[in-house]
Amino acid sequence: MKLTNLVIHLLNGLLVFLLCRALLWAASTKDVASDVAVTAKGNPDVTGARAGIVAALIATGWMLLPINLTAVLYVVQRMESLANLFVLLGLIGYVIGRQRTLKVTAASGYAPSPASGGGLGRTHFSASTRGFTLCFASIIVCTGMGILAKETAVMLPLYALLIEWLLFGFQRPRDVTAATASEAPPVRRRDRRIIALFLLVLALPMTLGLAWLLPGIFNPEVWATRNFTLATRLLSEARIIVDYIGWTLLPTPSALSFYHDNFYISSGLLTPWTTLASIVMLAALTASIVWLRKRRPLVALGIALFLGCQLLTGTILPLELIYEHRNYFASFGLLLAIVPLLVAPTQGVTALPMALPRYALFAGLMLCWTALTALTAHAWGDPLRLAEDLANRAPRSPRAQYELGRTYIIYSHYDPTSPFTKLAYAPLEKAAATPGSSILPEQALIFMNSRMHLPLKDAWWDSMVAKLKAHKPGVQDESSLGALTQCVREQRCDLPTGRMMGSFVAALSHPNPSARLLATYGDYAWNVLDDHELGERMTREAVKTNPSEPAYQITLIRMLAVQGRNAEAELALRKLTALNIGGRLDQDLSTLRALPGLR
């Protein structure tokens, strides 16, 4: 699995090189002062070679960035790297197609048309149409393919729009005549096809998507299982996005700790004060895009791509706050902005002073990125070594400490005499005592000792109940109760009924419990307490709370069938059939119809 991920990453590195080279060429053939295309500045071969070198340096740096490691070695994030493979392909196709639509020299196969009085000829029109078709197909096909891997590929049209705005300016091919070199260059006009393209592939889908998402986003229940609201998320993400810049360019082991559940959520503009400072910095970066658009278009484009990438995962969607792999594409934008500046020559159009300090800084950054990536990759090569490394990087992270304890449990093979058994207690109890932690550590301690037939401490149960009473259960809390329920149901754990009931009562004491929590309690009541009336009632509540989730309805049908209430089971089965979109429930429906009394 990791080898395949590595191959995808290397392919993406090649695509980053090709995209960078195309962008560099596009920028080098644009007179940013007058926004007029030029056919040659200096030796084209030297320009092309220079573009290739800079593109190779950007691609190499991007492949070695420590912040991109989790998108490769965290196996499930293959969907991130694979989605971006199609994003990069789509952008390459768009840039190439766009350049083809703008070429107007005779060497490109374009010539004035006598029939049109010297205007655009048929040859030009045909080539321009082919270029536009490539632009259209690259966005549509690659976005569709990328979304099959992960939803982040939906950002491809936005990235293409930023490239269009900052490098091509929505301009159409110039209507040229047999003008001499001394004549003023003709004025470009907007290409209505390009404008229509982005209205179709970006503006319309974005409008429809927001119309579909916003009612749920503003529903408080959507945020009930999170420890932040929409407002505090937006405030916090300002700091996080600024942190991403530092973690990308100047990473440290403690910053790239994988687990970030100990992040202090912003509750106001000055709580903490870095919230306002981060908002000001992001506003300044946004303004710099406009200011640099004609002076340094690649710098402006790099900043725009970085910020644009954060719009999906760093704004209104109720996702977890921080993940390093979200910068897999965004980090490319940062390198596109800084690497050409660091390696720019001291002579020519793109000249910058102080070459030696710039080259030394770039070499130092490459060395830093390579060393930290190598050390982190070594840790990821072994589960125990990884858990210990991440716990050391984030000593105040409940998840990092829990994961270390859980790894020790796995290595103990539930043998009380194993040295790993003793090692598991310290990190789990440290995680349990950390403010803001879920009940995962307590669940792991109870689960471990019960499986090994060791005494269960009252303090673990008391801590778990206190946390469930103090706040509405989150995803981790619900998963923990589900794991304990499953362990008892499968007769691998002997847990006191009173303690389990106390935990469920505490969890359900909050208003509007989730369907998952209700279903878990129904599972415990039916299979452990043998209280069929309570189990069925809780399961019905789960179905009512989330009628679009088939799992709860399947459980309810089985309960009714076991009790011989076939008419009710048939009615529930018909409701379940309505959810069988695209045949996704065919197997489940077939199994249910095979139950006695059902058809």
The tally of domains found in the chain comes to 3
| In-domain check, residue 435 | yes
Question: What pLDDT is stored for residue 121 in this prediction?
Answer: 52
Mean pLDDT of 206-230: 88
DSSP string, 373-384: HHHHHHHHTSHH
Its sign, for the CA torsion 368, 369, 370, 373, is positive
360 and 459 share a domain? no
- The percentage of the chain sitting over the pLDDT mark of 70, rounded to a whole number, equals 89
Check: CB of residue 167 under 8 Å from CB of residue 96.
Answer: no
73 and 137 share a domain? yes
| In-domain check, residue 296 | yes
Q: Which of 376, 405, 436 is the last residue of a domain?
A: 376
- Distance (Å, rounded) from C-alpha 401 to C-alpha 431? 5
Helix 78-102 × helix 156-163 angle, to 10°: 30
Upper half-sphere CA count for residue 153 (Cβ side, 13 Å): 26
Nearest to 153 by CA among 89, 70, 59: 89
Average pLDDT over the chain, rounded to an integer: 89
Confidence label for 122 from pLDDT (cuts 50, 70 and 90): low
Confidence label for 516 from pLDDT (cuts 50, 70 and 90): very high
| In-domain check, residue 273 | yes
3-class secondary-structure state, position 206: helix
| In-domain check, residue 183 | no
Question: What pLDDT is stored for residue 127 in this prediction?
Answer: 75
pLDDT in tens, 327-367: 999 999 999 999 999 998 766 555 677 888 999 999 999 99
563 and 499 share a domain? no
Nearest to 90 by CA among 338, 296, 329: 329
372 and 480 share a domain? no
| In-domain check, residue 561 | yes
| In-domain check, residue 381 | no
Beta bridge partners of 190: 171
| In-domain check, residue 180 | no
SS3 for 526-555 is HHCCCCHHHHHHHHHHHHHHCCCCHHHHHH
More confident call, 220 vs 575: 575
> Does the structure show a pLDDT above 70 at 104?
no
More confident call, 41 vs 538: 538
Tokens coding 480: 């923990």
Question: What pLDDT is stored for residue 31 in this prediction?
Answer: 42
DSSP string, 35-76: TEE-S-SS-HHHHHHHHHHHHHHHHHHHHH-GGGSHHHHSGG
- Distance (Å, rounded) from C-alpha 75 to C-alpha 67? 15
Check: CB of residue 278 under 8 Å from CB of residue 241.
Answer: yes
Q: Lowest-confidence range among 13-17, 223-227, 389-393, 394-398? A: 223-227
Mean pLDDT of 471-493: 94
Q: Which of 376, 397, 416 is the last residue of a domain?
A: 376
446 and 529 share a domain? yes
Check: CB of residue 445 under 8 Å from CB of residue 428.
Answer: yes
523 and 589 share a domain? no
Mean pLDDT of 8-29: 93
Number of Cβ within 10 Å of residue 548's Cβ equals 9
pLDDT in tens, 44-100: 333 566 889 999 999 999 999 999 999 999 999 999 999 999 999 999 999 999 999
- Distance (Å, rounded) from C-alpha 94 to C-alpha 76? 29
- Distance (Å, rounded) from C-alpha 143 to C-alpha 91? 10
Q: Based on C-alpha coordinates, what's the Rg of the chain?
A: 29
166: CB partners within 8 A, 6+ apart:
289, 293, 297, 300, 301, 304
Question: What pLDDT is stored for residue 123 in this prediction?
Answer: 55
Q: Lowest-confidence range among 33-42, 153-162, 371-380? A: 33-42
458 and 553 share a domain? no
321 and 449 share a domain? no
- Distance (Å, rounded) from C-alpha 339 to C-alpha 334? 8
Question: What pLDDT is stored for residue 44 in this prediction?
Answer: 39
| In-domain check, residue 284 | yes
540 and 558 share a domain? no
Amino acid residing at 563? Q
370 and 422 share a domain? no
Residue 5 CB-density burial (10 A; 0-12 exposed, 13-18 middle, 19+ buried): buried
Q: What is the pTM of this model?
A: 0.86
Identify the H or E element spanning 30.
strand 30-31
Q: Which of 546, 567, 582 is the last residue of a domain?
A: 546
Question: What pLDDT is stored for residue 233 in this prediction?
Answer: 96
Tokens coding 72: 């490769």
- Distance (Å, rounded) from C-alpha 327 to C-alpha 256? 12
> Does the structure show a pLDDT above 60 at 43?
no
Whichever domain contains 442, its CATH number is 1.25.40
Q: Parallel, antiparallel, or unpaired for β 112-113 and 119-120?
A: antiparallel
Number of Cβ within 10 Å of residue 127's Cβ equals 19
Confidence label for 187 from pLDDT (cuts 50, 70 and 90): low
Domain span including residue 21: 2-175+188-376
Check: CB of residue 69 under 8 Å from CB of residue 381.
Answer: no
Question: What pLDDT is stored for residue 223 in this prediction?
Answer: 86
More confident call, 305 vs 39: 305
Amino acid residing at 274? T
Nearest to 36 by CA among 221, 136, 176: 176
3-class secondary-structure state, position 190: strand
12 and 101 share a domain? yes
Exposure b/e, 360-393, CB count within 10 A at least 16 = b = eebeebeebbeebbeebeebbeeeeebbbbbbeb
Amino acid residing at 497? T
312 and 446 share a domain? no
Question: What pLDDT is stored for residue 45 in this prediction?
Answer: 38
Question: What pLDDT is stored for residue 124 in this prediction?
Answer: 56
Question: What pLDDT is stored for residue 341 in this prediction?
Answer: 92
- Distance (Å, rounded) from C-alpha 225 to C-alpha 477? 10
